[in-house]
């Protein structure tokens, strides 16, 4: 299974890197391919290192202005012209999506896939790894959107929240029949 992971390229505290590393090891040991933003820095590097060390494949999609930070030893690396093309390529190469901790870029990528699901343009499973309660506020906001009629489909049909890496991967595998 090709699993796209949206996450930060920033260097983060161990409370965020440890679960990301655990998720990466589970991906690699499960024979999955990581599809990610291709960066050789921060949490993106941690996850790519973990997947590769555990025997998984790496498919990166970087963008022209970040190409200098792209991982050199990925199994495949594509350089997109802009961020919109990058998101489209990441999603096209993925069977499923996992969202880990991140900033505005991660949130942009996450809402793109959820919007596509909302409109029936993709059925790919999406899981949000809620490390250290990082996405608790987002979960509350999404629930409010559902409760007040802003979502035409149930929130559970758009995204699942997982509290630990094993639960996140189990959700994706179960929803793809892996």
pLDDT at position 176, please? 86
pLDDT score for 178: 54
Give the SS3 label for residue 96.
Answer: strand
Rounded distance between C-alpha atoms, residue 116 and residue 123, angstroms:
9
Copy the structure tokens of residue 4.
């796209």
At residue 115, the pLDDT reads 95
**Which tens digit of pLDDT belongs to each residue from 45-97?**
999 999 999 999 999 999 999 999 999 999 999 999 999 999 999 999 999 99
Whole-number Å distance between alpha carbons of 49 and 46: 5
Phi first, then psi, for residue 4 (nearest 5°) are -80, 130
Q: What domains can you pick out in the chain, each with its CATH number?
A: 2-176 (3.40.50.450)
Is the pTM of the predicted complex or chain greater than 0.75? Answer: yes
18 neighbors 45 (Cβ within 8 angstroms): no
Using CA atoms, how far residue 48 sits from 34, 37, 45, 86, in Å, is 7, 10, 5, 18
Mean pLDDT by 10 residues, the chain (178 residues): 94 94 97 95 94 97 93 95 95 97 95 95 96 97 96 95 97 86
């Amino acid at each position: 299974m090709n699993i796209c992971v949206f996450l930060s390229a920033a260097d983060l505290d161990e409370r965020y890197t440890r679960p990301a590393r655990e998720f990466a090891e589970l991906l690699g040991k499960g024979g999955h391919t990581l599809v990610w933003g291709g960066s050789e820095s921060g949490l993106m590097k941690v996850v790519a290192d973990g997947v590769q060390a555990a025997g998984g494949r790496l498919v990166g999609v970087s963008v022209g202005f970040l190409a200098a930070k792209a991982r050199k030893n990925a199994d495949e690396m594509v350089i997109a012209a802009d961020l919109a093309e990058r998101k489209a390529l990441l999603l096209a190469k993925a069977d499923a999506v996992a969202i880990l901790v991140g900033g505005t870029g991660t949130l942009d990528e996450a809402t793109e896939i959820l919007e596509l699901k909302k409109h029936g343009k993709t059925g790919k499973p999406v899981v949000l790894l809620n490390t250290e309660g990082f996405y608790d506020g987002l979960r509350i906001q999404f629930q409010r959107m559902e409760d007040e009629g802003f979502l035409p489909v149930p929130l559970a049909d758009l995204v699942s929240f997982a509290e630990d890496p094993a639960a996140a991967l189990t959700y994706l595998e179960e929803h793809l029949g892996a």
